[in-house]
Chains A and B, each alone.
Chain A
Amino acid sequence: MSILKCEKLCKSFGKKGVLKNVTFEVNEGDILGFIGPNGAGKTTTIKLILGLQKISSGSVTINGLDIKKDFVKAIERVGAIVENPDLYMYLTGRENLKMIARLYHNIDAKRIDEVIAISGLGNRIDDNVSKYSLGMRQRLGIAAAIIHRPNLLILDEPTNGLDPEGIRELRDLLTKLAREEKMAILVSSHNLSELESFCNQICIIKNGVIIDKTSLTDLKKEVSNSQYILELDHIDGLKDIIDYSYEEISSTQISINIEREKIPDLIKTLIANDYLLYQIVEDKASLEDAFLRKTGGNIID
């Protein structure tokens, strides 16, 4: 079931158009990675969805309600962080949560404790937010965004300021929310590799235009340029037995361009020639490179 639907969203500041015909959907249980370089229009799109900026043309529908016509009802089941986890610095984490809780009908003290547990802030929840690190603020921001049990969660660059451990926790939390509470989640980022581990849908935006909408597996296939790294005991005489072109990385590693289907044959050849093969991995850096080639970088105009 579709929770969020953006149709032909356009936004212009004066004569300058920053978004052109942005159309996408997020279904319940989906985690959509909204990816694009800086200045591509990710945050603008999110602001239009949340009614923070006026839509020039097109429509946003949340739970079947038009954001322009029915803002109050449409926004009721949305949780969001835009740009930064903006909180009141001179209040404690708990006070911040309590203030938000007051604005909804369905939040009791138990729920506040629940999200404090989710945020993992422990005793620090009663410290002033000004004493928090960016990562802690990010966690509190997410707790604040889900406190009213929304069915659409919109997170703008939530991985900013999180350490690898924090990113892993965020991934676990989001997948849990999507799976167990059937939440629809929209996560924006400029970094594909951070999202690839937990998004099931990808939407790429560049210069205000959606250039690709696909599932992650399809994208991987698409951008994969069949670059693999092989680690062997030595690489002497490889040239004679392999037909593919490759680059030497070190005395034991090579980077090879090969189609996925041909890899088993390559392994057989190597073993037959008494090479010891330690590992063979897809070149992640090149996945990012390929993605960048696809988006071609962003020209901010």
Chain B
Amino acid sequence: MINLLKNEITKVIKKKSFLIMVIVMFGYALLTNIIYLSLNNVDEVEFVQNVASTIDDDDLDPETKAYNEALKETYDLAQKYEKSSWQYNYVITYDYDNLETIHLYEASQLFDSKIYNEAKEKHEKIVSLLKEDDWKSVVKIEMDELKEAFEEGDYTKEEYDIKLECLKMRLDKNISYAYSYQNDNLINYEESKISLLGYDDVDKLQLDEKEFYQERKETYLTSEYALKHNLNITSEISLQSVLMDFFDEFMLMIIIMVFMIAGSIMSNEYNNGTIKLLLVRPYSRIKVLLSKYLTVLICILIAILIMVVAELLIGGVTLGFSSLSNPALYYNAKLDTLQVYNIFAYLGLNIIGKLPNLIILATLVFAISTIFANTSLAIIMGFVGQFVGSLFSIFTTSSKWWLKYIISLNWDWTIYLLKSAPNIEGLSFIFSFVVCLVFLLALIIPTFLIFKHKDIVNV
């Protein structure tokens, strides 16, 4: 039996199509990573460019004109500094508010207003601090302003505490206003933490409210973790982030490879007549077929392995290996907590979780290939299976009682491995396991029975 298996694997690997497919997989990984690399080089905020296009038009009403002028001044001020500097980012994100106030009040001739004078004063201070390149003093100004606003009753105690916490964190952790991952995290942290105030009983929320809440919570937990552990992720797309979404990116390639092998392993023997050579050996037909089926299962692992290696090598060279030390953060909606994994552990769980999907589809293709001796039919039916299966993923709630019996809603076990909950009610790991097993047996048993009694006729 081991020897049969060895032969089958030899036959698969020595085929030219296998080599070609490996090359295609590496090529696909290369292409994907080059695209990511060029995406990373695109400038982050192109807000100011839109500002530049707003023209001073004399026909505009005074208010719109004031807005345009505020934008124009913001743009001119920001342009004095490098795009990557804290000054640039601060001006377009924060100082714009001051300029807007100034221009609006000037347009209305309200030069005596307290708000106007405060904004003007603050803007002038900031302009000088921009020149001195002293962002820490800017933070102090923000703190003073925050305190004043709180005393005037603009913020609740909770909101004030959060905002103050963030400003302090900026100083403590030395996060300047320059565009960076940490700066983003700080902003996300503040926003999401404030928006999470006031949720008492999460379980009572409506579905869409709950989704909104979960989104906020995920942002909050992720940014909190990143700040706490000083994660230094320089760009949005890294090797780590690609590996986290490994199956979104590369499932298709793995499926093609697996289908190619599962779809031809039996039908090729029929079509080339070598089936006769294979069946006059001292092994029962069941063993012959089993060795082929096991080969298909092994090839699933081989296909995943090749794809992982391709992405690791090519992604590492193009995007850099350093991001691999970053942990994979996963928000568990069911437990409402953040789970932290080593990136390889996370990838491993994802691979195991996707195996039932791949095994069932490969078995379907293998069964058709064995019964009908037709490679193209088998491969096409495999893709139909995957496509029809993915149609059902649009159901996010259990609106129909039969939904939970649909195989494609049961064959992704990632969610169970990450201890999270499926969208469809009534699904559990045991239930999915049984559904997958029943489906698998329904494919395998007839295939083996048919093959056992099949007459080998002329081809």
Contacts and interface: CB of A to CB of B under 8 A. Distances in A.
Our verdict on whether A and B bind, yes or no, reads yes
Interface of A: 13, 43, 47, 50-54, 71-73, 75-76, 78, 80, 82-84, 86-91, 95, 99-100, 102-104, 144
Given A83-B276, A87-B274, A89-B272, A104 B15 contact: no
B276 A52 contact: yes
Contact of A53 (B15, B277, B282, B456): B456
Contact of B455 (A54, A71, A83, A89): A54
Contacts of A144: 277
Contact of B280 (A43, A51, A53, A90): A51
Where chain A touches its partner, the secondary structure class is loop
A83 B458 contact: yes
Interface of B: 3-4, 6-7, 10-11, 14-16, 272-274, 276-277, 279-284, 453, 455-458
B14 A91 contact: yes
A72 B283 contact: yes
A102 B6 contact: yes
Contact of A86 (B6, B11, B274, B455): B274
Nearest to A72: B282
B284 A86 contact: no
Contacts of A54: 453, 455
B274 A104 contact: no
Where chain B touches its partner, the secondary structure class is helix
Contacts of A43: 458
Given A53-B456, A103-B7, A95 B272 contact: no
A84 B273 contact: yes
B7 A99 contact: yes
A86 B272 contact: yes
Contacts of B15: 90
Specify which of B15, B16, B282, B458 lies most central, judged by the most chain A CB atoms within 10 Å of its CB.
Answer: B282
B455 A99 contact: no
A258 B400 CA distance: 93
A75 B282 contact: yes
A91 B268 CA distance: 14
A83 B279 contact: no
Nearest to A52: B456
B3 to A, nearest CB: 4
B277 A86 contact: yes
A50 B273 CA distance: 15
A88 B11 contact: yes
Contacts of B457: 53
Contact of A52 (B6, B11, B279, B282): B279
Given A47-B456, A86-B274, A75 B7 contact: no
B7 A102 contact: yes
Given A52-B455, A71-B284, A90 B277 contact: no
Specify which of B276, B279, B455 lies most central, judged by the most chain A CB atoms within 10 Å of its CB.
Answer: B276
A144 B272 CA distance: 17
The 6 closest A-B pairs by CB, nearest first: A86-B273, A52-B456, A76-B282, A53-B455, A102-B3, A82-B276
A90 B11 CA distance: 9
Contacts of B3: 102-103
A121 B114 CA distance: 103
Specify which of B274, B277, B279 lies most central, judged by the most chain A CB atoms within 10 Å of its CB.
Answer: B277
A254 to B, nearest CB: 46
Contacts of B455: 13, 47, 52-54
Contacts of A73: 282
Contact of A90 (B16, B273, B456): B16
A36 B81 CA distance: 96
Contacts of A104: 281-282
A99 B14 CA distance: 13
A103 B4 contact: yes
A97 B15 CA distance: 17
A289 B52 CA distance: 102
Nearest to B455: A53
Contacts of A50: 276, 279-280
B7 A90 contact: no
Contacts of A86: 272-274, 276-277
Contacts of A47: 276, 455-456
B273 A83 contact: yes
Nearest to B8: A99
Contact of B284 (A72, A89, A91): A72
A89 B11 CA distance: 11
A96 to B, nearest CB: 9
B14 A95 contact: yes
9 contacts: A52-B279, A53-B456, A73-B282, A86-B273, A87-B274, A88-B272, A91-B10, A91-B11, A103-B3
